[in-house]
Structure 1
Amino acid sequence: MRKLVALPVLSADALSSVAYGPEAMLAILVPAGTTGLAYSLPVAGVIVLLMLAVGLSYRQTIRAYPHGGGSYIVAGDNLGRVPGLVAAAGLMIDYVLTVAVSIASGVAAITSAIPSLASDTVPIGVAVIVLLLAGNLRGIRQAGVLFAAPTYAFIAAMFALIAFGLADAADHGFQPRPAPPVAVTETVGLLLIMRAFSSGATAMTGIEAISNAVPAFRPVEWRNARTTLTWMVGLLIAMFTGTIILIHLSGVVPGTRETVLSQLAHLSFGSGGMYVFIQAATAAVLLLAANTAYNDFPRVLSLLARDDYAPRLFMRLGDRLAYSNGILLLSLAAALVFIAFDGLTSSLIPLYAVGVFLAFALSQAGMVVHWWRLRDRHWRKSLLFNAAGCLLSAVVFITAGISKFTAGAWVAIVAVVLFLVVTLRIRHHYETARAALRLRAHTVELPTHITEGPLPAQRPSFTHPRPGVAEENEENEELPEEVRHLSVVTIATLDLAGMRALAYAASFQQPVLALHISVTEEEAERFRNYWTLWGDRLPLEIVVSPYRATVAPLVHYIEALHQQHPDLTLTVILPEIITRHRRHQFLHSRTATRLRRALRPLPKIVITTVPFHL
């Protein structure tokens, strides 16, 4: 991507948080009355310093990880397995709440302009989640123009609002208007200030997105990514600062029926076309920000599955080349959270800060260790920036965890602990299964090469069947000697389960063909070398599937084999792992069921499984 396209695509989440970050901070200070609101500017100033420090620290991350450095990767590489998983937990919570909070804030922008829809907040939000689910399952990707228009429209709307508001304030000598009277229910104290700070800091959500997507830039990738990050942080600081100053000068306070941005737009432009434009741009960019999580959440989940910390089904790409299972899980989790908190942004914010800044802190701590180990040119300066970002992020995380514990932060903390326990248990199960399935020298022999019978002379070509093939070769064998067999054994890895399936197929004394699906040509060559090492006693066919799909390539291959040898009865044999506990079964492939469903329409094909009990 060019920088002008990458900026709106990757910054929608961060920039849109201006729509709810300042309001979340003020909502904490309002119960303390005028005295509490007087702290809005100092607290906002500290948040701006935090934005600057974290932005500078992520510039160092981009330099150190030019191929993309998400919190899970950085923390895992430099701090170890458990910190990496904790960072991943923070990321997963962040992405779920990005969907819930962005949609809640976007719906609030709509209901502020159309108050009659206020009672339908939850149904509208759930409907938006369903639309995002449907769109992403169909493989909709981040198109530059699609993402650029709403983000640039929101930037234009915010700067127009800030410029007009400051110009109007200049006519009055920048004298703040008195805030409307509010009931004082709290006193100003350290805990109140801490809560306001942690709530306002949610305006930084999404600031790490550019460091995750460095390879998406045009060359030189890391340099363009750092430039784009600088633009994003600059815009974020300018919009956040301008909004806070405008709120201070106008005397606007958060309300339950209308957002702060809507109140500011009403004061500046009335209810005319400019007000509608601001509200529409705000709603559009917030809903767009929710969609960014649909790209990052499934990707992180696939990385966890690759490392055996999540079920391997999350590595599977759907027919539209999207991580369908991860998208479904994100939609379900976001919908449940949205419904549980009645679609209220103010109720969701306490959960948000914990996950975001936990991931920030661990990522920056990992970078401190990285620079200390590497000690290359300018390592001291880079370490200082990352240490400052780590310290400030940790302060926000601890502050949010303590000050908002009873308000909902405990949910996020419990979710992190549960995530850690579950992922470690999943890894333990996979390690146990791998040990049970591992081949050992001189303990397993491949079946002998069976040369009698009808083996395919060449790899089948993937063509459509000739007209009349099915009619010419109907399933009319009535005697055993009329049935001509070919067993196709699908082998994912050379392990005891695969050896058992091959032995079972060879026991019929009929032709056997081993079939392996590889993700890359390199993996295919590696598997071929393993096959040769273990005897190369059966013919092997390898199909390369670069999108990690397994069922579709298997179906295509078997269909082509059936078309070229319609006289054969193909028996597709799959090894199947049977676990001792039912709860572990979903951690293993369910290919047999899906393959049986896909091949059922074809004649003369039999699907059978050979169980291997762990």
Structure 2
Amino acid sequence: MLSSFKRFLIGRPLKNDEIGDQKLSKTKALAILSSDALSSVAYGPEQILIVLITISGLAMWYSVPIALCVLILLAVLILSYKQIIFAYPQGGGAYVVSKTNLGMNCGLVAGGSLLVDYILTVAVSVSAGTDAITSAFPSLQNYNVEIAVLFVILLTILNLRGVTESASILAYPVYLFVLAAFILIGAGIFNVLTGNISPELHTPIGTPVAGIGLFILLKAFASGSSALTGVEAISNAIPNFKDPAPKNAAKTLAVMGGLLAILFTGIVVLAYFYGIIPKAEATVVSQIAESIFGRNFMYFFIQGTTALILILAANTGYSAFPLLAVNLAKDKFIPRMFLARGDRLGYSNGIIVLGVASIMLILVFHAKTEHLIPLYAVGVFVPFTLSQTGMMMKWLKEKPKGWVTKFIINTTGAFISLIVTMIFFITKFTQVWSILIFLPIIVWIFYRIKKHYVAIGDQLRLTNDDLVKKIEGNVIIVPIAGMTRVVEGSLNYAKSLMPDQIIAVNVGFEKESEKAFKEEWQTWQPDVRLVTLYSQFRSVLGPLNRFIEAVERKASESNYQVTVVIPQFIPKKGWHNILHNQSGLLIRSYLLYRKNVVVATVPYHLKK
């Protein structure tokens, strides 16, 4: 039943040779890997206005030059990541670049930042999408957390079905959003050009504003730069592209950059001309759409597609997180389970971990986007800075043809990314200070995991100096609770191994029944030695463990191996297990940690 339900949720298992069918075309990749960046136009411009409104409504005109600065940074990042795509076509993005050129510590800082950032991508995107829904339907505002969690669960299931299937479904909402955004911007600009917008709605550009200073402007710029999150996702997911993967990835990156520039600029310009002021109960995009179209079909179409892309932008995290986890797992810095492909040839363990972690974040932050965005943005710009610096070092070392131009591009990207990162720490320290704690902890965990894998490798590796203890004989201990078919089957199995000795051990709680039990045993299994142990505290594990330990000490003197054969009956139906005490499982779990004891379970399957 469970297997059928799994098939219903994620589909039939795919064969290994079907992996080629799971590669993405440029059209699908743009939808899957650009949705995060494109969706950020729904909250990036708003973050600029939220900072400026703290001065006054007159300061709104500064959003236009600030947006221009954000576009310059976008152009530099697009050019920089295009170079990374061709330099490191195996994917991995900032982690691989930083590790290769700046050392392992920098690589792990970048990798740790991105892992956390992709979790934040899911949480922020879904929370922002929920905000868009509740802006259109205010009666749902009390259910933000529940709606957000539901969407994360649906996205997790969808991604477990495979890359191409999720891409086929998610491409339509992304392109519908682009269409809706172009309609919104086109209609808004038309009204501006035809004079249908009152000049009183906005302050003329260049108007002096009291109280405005460099600190506020830098803070607004850093906040607006949150719209650039997701730019790096394509460089992480190059293996997901159809061949030639690097060329297709570079073209997709260029298209994404162009669309992001147009949509971001359009929203900022419309917000300025329409005099939009940030409100808690309605997003900036919602206010612009309502100002242009009113509350008609077009308004709900724009809000609907905006909500969809904000929610589906989380899919960028689902595409990039598992691939980054694969690179870290290959280097033994995170559990090797992240290397395993699931039934649908996706890295399902990474997908599930991402979904669970995102739900936890949503619950902790109550789906409040404004509380998540600063941490989200700084988590992106740390890897931005490290990857651009790593590319600078690469060009300085290798000096290929045309390296000077590439070096200048990456130097500019590294400098601006560093400035933005510093601005975030200076202006939003109370919201991002936690990154200074959890990043070192994450790197420390990476090294502890690596140390564990190295230690295991050293112990399992065959060398000429290995001395394997020769086993001279075998003593089998069979814990029993009575004389049953289950015990009989285990004893027959033990005898088939032809050991030197078989010892049946019974732990009793009443001394009175001990004599009768021994007499029955002599009649039933006269050739098997029986040892009865009395437990005054009604514990089976304690007396049994002490007996096994005594036998083990004596056996080790003669190089004998101690084997514990555990009888275990298996109910016909799974739920029947809760009706039994599972003492066999407890004994096995306990004994597995004894170094010199072999544990075997002999199952007896019940028929009804």
With structure 1 as the length reference, what TM-score do the two structures score? 0.71
Hey, what does 2:417 align to over in structure 1? 393
C-alpha deviation, 1:298, in angstroms = 2.9
Hey, what does 1:414 align to over in structure 2? 437
Hey, what does 2:14 align to over in structure 1? none
> How far apart, in 2, do the equivalents of 1:280 and 1:481 lie?
66
Alignment of 1:114-513 (within 5 A): 114-137=137-160, 143-172=166-195, 176-178=199-201, 187-406=211-430, 408-445=431-468, 480=492, 484=496
Hey, what does 1:93 align to over in structure 2? 116
> How far apart, in 2, do the equivalents of 1:166 and 1:189 lie?
30
C-alpha deviation, 1:152, in angstroms = 0.6
> How far apart, in 1, do the equivalents of 2:490 and 2:222 lie?
76
- Kindly indicate whether residue 98 of structure 2 is the aligned counterpart of residue 49 of structure 1: no
Do the aligned partners of residues 478 and 403 (structure 1) sit closer, same or farther apart at CA in structure 2, a change above 3 Å counting? closer
Q: Flag structure 1 segments of 5+ consecutive residues without an equivalent.
A: 449-473, 488-503, 511-571, 580-591, 604-614
- Kindly indicate whether residue 100 of structure 2 is the aligned counterpart of residue 81 of structure 1: no
> How far apart, in 1, do the equivalents of 2:594 and 2:331 lie?
21
> How far apart, in 2, do the equivalents of 1:224 and 1:339 lie?
38
> How far apart, in 1, do the equivalents of 2:446 and 2:324 lie?
13
Alignment of 1:592-607 (within 5 A): none
Do the aligned partners of residues 89 and 142 (structure 1) sit closer, same or farther apart at CA in structure 2, a change above 3 Å counting? farther
C-alpha deviation, 1:284, in angstroms = 1.1
C-alpha deviation, 1:421, in angstroms = 2.0
Q: Which segment is superposed worse, 86-95 or 216-225? A: 216-225
> How far apart, in 2, do the equivalents of 1:277 and 1:601 lie?
62
The residue type equivalent to 1:111 in the other structure is: T
- Kindly indicate whether residue 96 of structure 2 is the aligned counterpart of residue 103 of structure 1: no
CA offsets 1:533-574 (integer angstroms, 9 cap, x no match)? xxxxxxxxxxxxxxxxxxxxxxxxxxxxxxxxxxxxxxx9xx
Q: How many residues align?
A: 484
> How far apart, in 1, do the equivalents of 2:335 and 2:493 lie?
44
Q: SS at the partner of 1:32?
A: coil
- Is this contact kept in 1: 2:57–2:277, CA < 8 A? no
> How far apart, in 2, do the equivalents of 1:601 and 1:162 lie?
71
C-alpha deviation, 1:105, in angstroms = 0.9
C-alpha deviation, 1:345, in angstroms = 1.5
Q: SS at the partner of 1:343?
A: coil
- Is this contact kept in 2: 1:477–1:483, CA < 8 A? no
> How far apart, in 2, do the equivalents of 1:369 and 1:486 lie?
67
> How far apart, in 1, do the equivalents of 2:171 and 2:490 lie?
66
Q: Flag structure 2 segments of 5+ consecutive residues without an equivalent.
A: 1-23, 204-208, 472-485, 500-555, 564-587
CA offsets 1:247-303 (integer angstroms, 9 cap, x no match)? 111101110001111111111111111111111111111111112212322332233
C-alpha deviation, 1:601, in angstroms = 7.9
Hey, what does 1:113 align to over in structure 2? 136
Hey, what does 2:50 align to over in structure 1? 27
> How far apart, in 2, do the equivalents of 1:324 and 1:220 lie?
25
- Is this contact kept in 2: 1:35–1:188, CA < 8 A? no
> How far apart, in 2, do the equivalents of 1:226 and 1:190 lie?
36
Hey, what does 1:496 align to over in structure 2? none
- Kindly indicate whether residue 62 of structure 2 is the aligned counterpart of residue 39 of structure 1: yes
CA offsets 1:102-152 (integer angstroms, 9 cap, x no match)? 011100110111011112112211222233334445557554331221111
Q: SS at the partner of 1:39?
A: helix
> How far apart, in 2, do the equivalents of 1:398 and 1:65 lie?
28
C-alpha deviation, 1:100, in angstroms = 1.1
C-alpha deviation, 1:157, in angstroms = 0.5
For the aligned residue pairs, the C-alpha RMSD in angstroms reads: 3.6
CA offsets 1:443-465 (integer angstroms, 9 cap, x no match)? 335979xxxxxxxxxxxxxxxxx
- Is this contact kept in 1: 2:127–2:311, CA < 8 A? no
- Is this contact kept in 2: 1:31–1:186, CA < 8 A? no
The residue type equivalent to 2:99 in the other structure is: G
Do the aligned partners of residues 139 and 230 (structure 1) sit closer, same or farther apart at CA in structure 2, a change above 3 Å counting? closer
Do the aligned partners of residues 150 and 486 (structure 1) sit closer, same or farther apart at CA in structure 2, a change above 3 Å counting? farther
Q: SS at the partner of 1:5?
A: helix
With structure 2 as the length reference, what TM-score do the two structures score? 0.72
> How far apart, in 1, do the equivalents of 2:38 and 2:498 lie?
60
Q: SS at the partner of 1:206?
A: coil
- Is this contact kept in 1: 2:230–2:316, CA < 8 A? no
Hey, what does 1:559 align to over in structure 2? none
Hey, what does 2:26 align to over in structure 1? 3
> How far apart, in 2, do the equivalents of 1:245 and 1:49 lie?
16
- Is this contact kept in 2: 1:176–1:251, CA < 8 A? no
The residue type equivalent to 2:187 in the other structure is: F
> How far apart, in 2, do the equivalents of 1:17 and 1:178 lie?
25
> How far apart, in 2, do the equivalents of 1:479 and 1:110 lie?
66
> How far apart, in 2, do the equivalents of 1:481 and 1:232 lie?
66
C-alpha deviation, 1:475, in angstroms = 10
